[in-house]
Structure 1
Amino acid sequence: MKLYKLLCFSFLIAVLTSCTFTENITINDNGTGNFAVDMDGSALMEMAGDQIGNQMGADAKKDIDSTFTFKQLFADKKDSIAKMSPEAQQEIKKLENFVVHTKMSAEKKQFLMTFTTDFKNVNELQDILQTASTLQKLEGGAAAASPMGSGFGNNNSKLSYTYDGKKFIRKATIDQQKLKEVKKDSAAAMSKMMFASSNYVIKYHFPKKIKKVSNPNALFSDDRKSITIQYTFTDYMENPDKLNFEVEFEK
């Protein structure tokens, strides 16, 4: 529980500083692959390392290198999960195979968190970030155990990925009704301020050479099998359809 408390406090400060969130997808020849979201909050340690130490005492002075699965976490939170609606419980179950890896060092000014899972088909990732935001409903600081805590992932859109060997498509469809509700919510302005200086980076790795990408800002690796695209985190949260693009592969 001390670890959860430390992560919760650290994540709260992290969202108030400049962070980089990186969405990684690696697709293999047979269509299987790995999905991960990394949060680099090292700027947090540069700016607020002493504050964390004062709040957390001796625990914050120890280096943390922790790995656990959501399946383990959900076992600890079974009473809280039982209070959720059947629909929410079904959503939570989709996250069972995800692993959270956290590295924190006050001395090295390092704070890294990774949320990752393997998949058999990229279609399994439909709305996975939206699903992860369901963690907010868990009691006892469970949301802080993931970079998806504090509403991250819930950007009022439906996200889908498709890959058929010829083309890869990332598409976010905005829920206009939810967007209208958010614009009326005063908390939305606070969220915008919190993430204003943060970035959202996409790094995708494919088994084939890329012929072209619909986003002109995409950077290619030397072998043309990987792309990197950087956005502001504000775009990710407020204009998720700006992150839509298609990748066409060489024959």
Structure 2
Amino acid sequence: MNKFFTLIACALTLTLTSCQFSENIYINEDGSGKMEFSMDASEMMEMVSQMGDGESSKGMDKAMDSTIVFKDFIEENRDSIATLSPEEQQKIMALKDFKMHMQMNPETKKMVFDLSTDFKDANNLQDMFKAMNSFSNLQGKGGAEQNTPSSPFSGIGEDGSTDVQYSYDGTVFKRSSKIIDKELHQQSLDSLGQSAMMFGSSKYTINYHFPRAVKSFSKEGAMYSEDRKTVTFEVGFMDMLKDPELLDFEVVLEDK
């Protein structure tokens, strides 16, 4: 459990610095696949290395390559988890279908974090943002520090101000976003505080991998792999948070 919350603390540090964010989806012909959310804070490792022995760099000064399969973690630590508050238990249980992988190496300046899950139907991908919020809000027995800025994803997903929907019928894939509570959406942005400035240079990149070549992508500026089965689209991270509809698009695949 202690190692787990050390990993959580390190990963949360990533969300409060200038990172590059990626939403990666791998779709099979039958509509099943894998969704992965990645944060790359490699550019920040120089800052981490200059933190010395301070509390803020605790746990981040040594190389780490760890994977947690939450389903196994929950089973192996069920007695310890039972001692946490009901709220913390609920957050951990929300991650039961996910896997976390974290790599940190101060020497190579690498700091990468991935949260992923497999899915049976590409129409049911909305739980990723719920999991991200549950993960970002994990505190452990010590609780969260006071005045800690909100997770940048706190307004997205279930119980948030922005609803993100995915649909796929075998040929057409759609991603659509809608602000359902403008006041709450603004509160989520305001809660970032000074972190909003640090996110100014961050990008949010879509990497979608399909079973067949992409015939069309509804946004200008997309890039394709040589076989056109992978499409990449990038926007400014803060631009996306302010206007989630920037990532509304439609992908049409070639016929089978």
Structure 2 gap ranges (5+)? 156-160
Change (3 A) 1:135 1:141: farther
Percent identity between the two aligned chains: 34
**2:163 aligns to what?**
158
Report the secondary structure of 1:133's partner residue.
helix
Structure 1 gap ranges (5+)? none
Q: Distance in 1 between matches of 2:58 and 2:252?
A: 52
The 8 Å contact of residues 127 and 159 in structure 1, kept in 2 or not, is answered as no
1:176 equivalenced with 2:177 (yes/no): no
**1:249 aligns to what?**
253
Aligned residues: 241
Report the secondary structure of 1:223's partner residue.
coil
Report the secondary structure of 2:226's partner residue.
coil
| Displacement of 1:94 | 4.3
Q: Compare the two structures and name the one with the higher helix fraction.
A: 1
Matched AA of 2:5: Y
| Displacement of 1:192 | 2.1
Matched AA of 1:234: M
Map 1:1-251 to 2 at 5 A: 1=2, 4-5=5-6, 7-8=8-9, 11-12=12-13, 14-15=14-15, 17-51=17-51, 53-55=53-55, 60-71=60-71, 72=73, 75=78, 76-80=80-84, 82-83=86-87, 89=90, 93-140=93-140, 150-155=150-155, 156-179=161-184, 182=187, 186-251=190-255
* Greater Cα shift, 20-29 or 172-181: 172-181
Report the secondary structure of 1:231's partner residue.
strand
The 8 Å contact of residues 21 and 203 in structure 2, kept in 1 or not, is answered as yes
Report the secondary structure of 2:47's partner residue.
helix
Report the secondary structure of 2:50's partner residue.
helix
The 8 Å contact of residues 25 and 35 in structure 1, kept in 2 or not, is answered as yes
Matched AA of 1:195: F
Alpha-carbon displacement from aligned partner over 1:17-40 (angstroms, at most 9, x marks no partner) = 431111100001111100001111
Q: Distance in 1 between matches of 2:16 and 2:61?
A: 21
**2:158 aligns to what?**
none
The 8 Å contact of residues 4 and 141 in structure 1, kept in 2 or not, is answered as no
Change (3 A) 1:57 1:39: closer
Q: Distance in 1 between matches of 2:83 and 2:167?
A: 36
Change (3 A) 1:49 1:6: farther
- TM-score normalised by the chain length of structure 2: 0.80
The 8 Å contact of residues 80 and 138 in structure 1, kept in 2 or not, is answered as no
**Cα RMSD (Å) of the superposition?**
3.1
| Displacement of 1:55 | 3.6
Change (3 A) 1:3 1:93: closer
